[in-house]
A and B are shown apart, each in its own frame.
Chain A
Amino acid sequence: MRVAKRVAAVAAGLAVTVLATAGLSGCAPVQSGPAATGTDQQTGQLRVWLFDEVNRGPKEAVVKEAVTEFQNAHQGVTVDVQYIQVQSRAERFKAAFSDPKSAPDVAEFGNTDLAGYVSGGGFAELDLSSWAEAKDLLPTVADTGKVDGKTYGVPWYVGIRALYYRTDVFTELGLKPPTKLDEIAPLARQIRAAKPDLLGISAGGKYTYAAMPFVWANGGDIAREDGGKYVSTIDSTESKAGLRQYTELISDDICPPAQCAGNGGDASVEAFRAGKAAMVIGGDFNRKSVDASTAAGKYAVVPVPGTTAGSIAPAFAGGNLLGVMKGSERKTLANQFLQLLGGKQYQRKMFDAMGNMPTFGDVQNDLAKANPVVEPFIKTLNAGTKFVPVTPNWAKIDAQAVLPTLLQEVAAAGNDLDTAAKKAADAMNAAFSS
């Protein structure tokens, strides 16, 4: 027992010592920063990080083309492209911010991560004034690359979600796609009643970006800005109306909680691909994979309808940005490469290769003419999009799964919507104010 006492005493002593020294002297945890180097070399190796994809081949081919073009135009410059996993991006970027030596010069990243990365000191402000193509960037999309009015990222592509539905099932049952938001649930119920093997609509309990259009269409929002700070409005009457409409979909007569409550976006779309769902909210980026599934040729897409007939529910303006790292020693080259890869020519190539929706208005219009399939997505985009709060704290709220927990508590755990929404709002406000 003496051993135990001694261990306890040592532990207590250690705690007191650390507390005392940390409080009194300058003893503190390590800090390291991507100090701007000030150098701007014109030759050498330019390092680029792009996201890995399920089917990376076509993306890699387009990027290789851009790299070759860039290397031919710049003597003595090589471009090293690395593909990083989306799943572990947070760790990779955090490490890159802390150790500039292992950081890239140019990187692709998700637009919801932007605010966190900028406050982490990771990305440099971009000056697009001398870039002629920049003026054609869609303003709402360009805003997703800005923090406090300053541009840190060029939108490389935009991800817009719309409603996929099975034309064969709808024809067989004599149904028409929904024209109002509150028609989705009855329609889905009717389909499942007629075809018990099908999910009326594949609605995931973790699929935040499918749920948010319901909230936005009803006039609600995640948060509002109030004097430079965000305040959550997820528990407002309007938001709750939207949440109620969405969570209603996750029920036994539409999309049983046991099957659907744990699903995020990918799993929700997967059910549609497998031919097990009559409807799903899916992105333009899912189109190619649906075309390669059992649902191919048997589906059509319409914008997610708003609360009144003919209106469109605001969609989430997802997508990826290209940015230049703050610690880059080749700022000029990095900017030039970014403008090449993020420019009109290569965005068009990326659309052909991957189906990624371009961010330039004129390029989009051209594509819509040639590819009617992208029309519902472009319509949705033009009807106005919404975004998550632009604050570094959003990454925290995202990581703590505040919104998915809210949806799941109501849809699966049988909790009261008012209580669950209040709890989510409190969690968000705590994060906003930290």
Chain B
Amino acid sequence: MMRATKGDGRIAFAYLTPALLLLVGLLGYPIYQLVLISLFDYGQEQVSGGVPLTFLGLENYANLLADAKFWSVLGQTVGFAAVCVIGTLVVGAALAVLATRVRTWARLTLFLAALGAWATPAVAGSTIWLFLFDANFGFVNEVLGTTGFSWTYDRWVAFGLVAAQVIWCSFPFVMVTLYAGIKAIPGEVLEAAALDGASALRTARSVMLPLLRPLLIVVTIQSIIWDFKVFTQIYIMTNGGGIAGRNLVLNVYAYQQAFAASEYGLGASIGVVTTVLLLLVTLGYLRALKKSGETL
């Protein structure tokens, strides 16, 4: 490889400047504002200028971290996101493999169905699922003969239903991505493995999986970030967090406690904490991969 000289660096920097400016403007400034707001007592009174601003320092964070409800909601969010991520990956990967093995018309049907789910807006999707699982008039209760059973009342049943909805609308991304990945594996490689006498399982583990690894990393991180930030499904399907708030996840909790109540300072601090947590999760994940000998 050629060593970069100082002049090259400067030119590279010049080329990158427009992108950098864009990133600073679109990403850096909002994050700066978010952090800034989280340090103030910033409610509607302050926004519209009726009341002077008070600088709180880290008080919003201290209050947040001292709140037992925050921790229980955080735990719930992590558990919920984990189930959704695993579910999405398993369903997505299984269907991707299936898609490579079936005839064209079957694959086409599968893709159309998946794209339909993918293209459905979250609000519409959640509402339709609610209709399907309605206690009195729902199709599902009709088929199962359980008319009157409420799918959104019990804590775990409600979480399960929402998780199923989240998986339903996020598996297509995983499926399409992995299908493309599997298709991109050169036929020669698989042929070579077959000539060496590798079983299907062995080929999958030792040939396909390593080749798919970069894609798997991307879809996993994407899924973690998406599912950790779930808002719409919980908000709509459990009517704002379930009975007595037992189905709350972090984003809905932040909305309820901070934005609906006009406590923007507190809300911003929840936003910062979420961002940091997601950053840590992603870094931790990358690090674990690195340890297992993968180059990024």
Interface digits, B192-204 against A, CB 8 Å rule (1 contact, 0 not)?
A: 0000000000000
Minimum Cβ distance to chain B for residue A32 (Å): 6
Q: Say yes or no: B57 contacts A405, CB within 8 Å.
A: no
Partner of B135, one of A3, A22, A259, A400: A259
Known: A7-B283, A8-B283, A18-B39. Is A90-B260 also a contact (CB below 8 A)?
Answer: yes
A155 within 8 A of B: no
Docked pose: A400 CA to B245 CA in angstroms: 10
B 269-295 contacts with A by CB, 8 A? 276, 279, 283, 286-287, 290
Interface digits, B248-274 against A, CB 8 Å rule (1 contact, 0 not)?
A: 000000001100111100000000000
Known: A7-B279, A29-B42, A408-B244. Is A121-B262 also a contact (CB below 8 A)?
Answer: no
Docked pose: A23 CA to B287 CA in angstroms: 35
Partner of A4, one of B241, B246, B283: B283
Q: Say yes or no: B31 contacts A14, CB within 8 Å.
A: yes
Q: Say yes or no: A121 contacts B49, CB within 8 Å.
A: yes
Q: Say yes or no: A28 contacts B36, CB within 8 Å.
A: yes
B37 within 8 A of A: yes
Q: Say yes or no: A98 contacts B48, CB within 8 Å.
A: yes
Interface digits, A198-212 against B, CB 8 Å rule (1 contact, 0 not)?
A: 000000010000000
Q: Say yes or no: A120 contacts B44, CB within 8 Å.
A: yes
Partner of A94, one of B55, B58, B262, B279: B262
Q: Say yes or no: B57 contacts A32, CB within 8 Å.
A: no
Partner of A399, one of B243, B260, B276, B296: B260
Residue on A with the closest CB to B245?
A405
B152 within 8 A of A: yes
A 30-71 contacts with B by CB, 8 A? 30-35
A 2-25 contacts with B by CB, 8 A? 3-4, 7-8, 11, 14-15, 18-19, 22-23
Chain A residues with CB under 8 Å of B191's CB are none
A74 within 8 A of B: no
B46 within 8 A of A: yes
Interface digits, B99-138 against A, CB 8 Å rule (1 contact, 0 not)?
A: 0000000000000000000000000000000000001000
A396 within 8 A of B: yes
Partner of B239, one of A90, A258, A262: A262
Q: Say yes or no: A11 contacts B276, CB within 8 Å.
A: yes
Residue on B with the closest CB to A393?
B261
Q: Say yes or no: A412 contacts B48, CB within 8 Å.
A: no
Q: Say yes or no: B152 contacts A14, CB within 8 Å.
A: no
B32 within 8 A of A: yes
Q: Tell me the total A-B contact number using a CB cutoff of 8 A.
A: 134
Known: A261-B243, A413-B246. Is A98-B150 also a contact (CB below 8 A)?
Answer: no
A 77-112 contacts with B by CB, 8 A? 90, 94, 97-98
Minimum Cβ distance to chain A for residue B289 (Å): 10
B18 within 8 A of A: no
Chain A residues with CB under 8 Å of B57's CB are 19, 23
Known: A7-B279, A29-B42, A258-B150. Is A401-B48 also a contact (CB below 8 A)?
Answer: no
Q: Say yes or no: B261 contacts A33, CB within 8 Å.
A: no
The size bracket of the interface on B is: 35 or more
Docked pose: A261 CA to B290 CA in angstroms: 49
Docked pose: A415 CA to B243 CA in angstroms: 12
Which label, helix, strand, loop or mixed, suits the secondary structure of the A interface? helix
Docked pose: A28 CA to B288 CA in angstroms: 40
B240 within 8 A of A: yes
B40 within 8 A of A: yes
Q: Say yes or no: B48 contacts A122, CB within 8 Å.
A: yes
Partner of A18, one of B35, B47, B279: B35
A116 within 8 A of B: yes
Minimum Cβ distance to chain A for residue B278 (Å): 12
Residue on A with the closest CB to B296?
A3
Chain B residues with CB under 8 Å of A18's CB are 32, 35-36, 39
Docked pose: A205 CA to B55 CA in angstroms: 39
Chain B residues with CB under 8 Å of A35's CB are 49
A319 within 8 A of B: no
Known: A8-B283, A28-B53, A205-B243. Is A121-B45 also a contact (CB below 8 A)?
Answer: yes
Q: Say yes or no: A34 contacts B44, CB within 8 Å.
A: no
Minimum Cβ distance to chain A for residue B157 (Å): 10
Known: A120-B45, A122-B48, A413-B243. Is A257-B153 also a contact (CB below 8 A)?
Answer: yes
Docked pose: A431 CA to B57 CA in angstroms: 20
Minimum Cβ distance to chain A for residue B249 (Å): 15
Minimum Cβ distance to chain A for residue B101 (Å): 38
Partner of B261, one of A14, A119, A205, A396: A396
B 152-201 contacts with A by CB, 8 A? 152-154
Q: Say yes or no: B153 contacts A258, CB within 8 Å.
A: yes
B50 within 8 A of A: yes
Chain A residues with CB under 8 Å of B49's CB are 31-35, 121
Partner of A120, one of B33, B48, B242: B48
Q: Say yes or no: A14 contacts B244, CB within 8 Å.
A: no
Q: Say yes or no: B153 contacts A261, CB within 8 Å.
A: yes
Known: A15-B35, A28-B53. Is A119-B45 also a contact (CB below 8 A)?
Answer: yes
In order of increasing CB-CB distance, the 9 nearest A-B pairs are A33-B49, A121-B50, A399-B260, A408-B244, A399-B261, A396-B261, A97-B48, A258-B153, A258-B150
Besides the known contacts A22-B55, A261-B243, 19 further A-B residue pairs in the complex with CB atoms under 8 A apart: A7-B279, A8-B279, A11-B276, A22-B36, A22-B39, A28-B36, A29-B33, A29-B37, A31-B46, A97-B44, A98-B47, A121-B48, A258-B149, A258-B150, A262-B239, A400-B261, A401-B240, A412-B244, A415-B244
19 sample A-B contacts, Cβ–Cβ < 8 Å, listed by A number:
A1-B287, A1-B290, A22-B55, A23-B57, A28-B55, A29-B46, A30-B47, A31-B53, A97-B48, A120-B50, A205-B243, A258-B135, A258-B153, A259-B148, A262-B152, A392-B45, A396-B263, A412-B153, A431-B261
Instruction: Give me the interface of B with A, judged by CB distance under 8 Å.
Output: 31-33, 35-37, 39-40, 42, 44-51, 53, 55, 57-58, 135, 148-150, 152-154, 239-246, 256-257, 260-263, 276, 279, 283, 286-287, 290, 296
Instruction: Give me the interface of A with B, judged by CB distance under 8 Å.
Output: 1, 3-4, 7-8, 11, 14-15, 18-19, 22-23, 27-35, 90, 94, 97-98, 116, 119-122, 205, 257-259, 261-262, 392, 395-396, 399-401, 405, 408-409, 412-413, 415, 431, 434
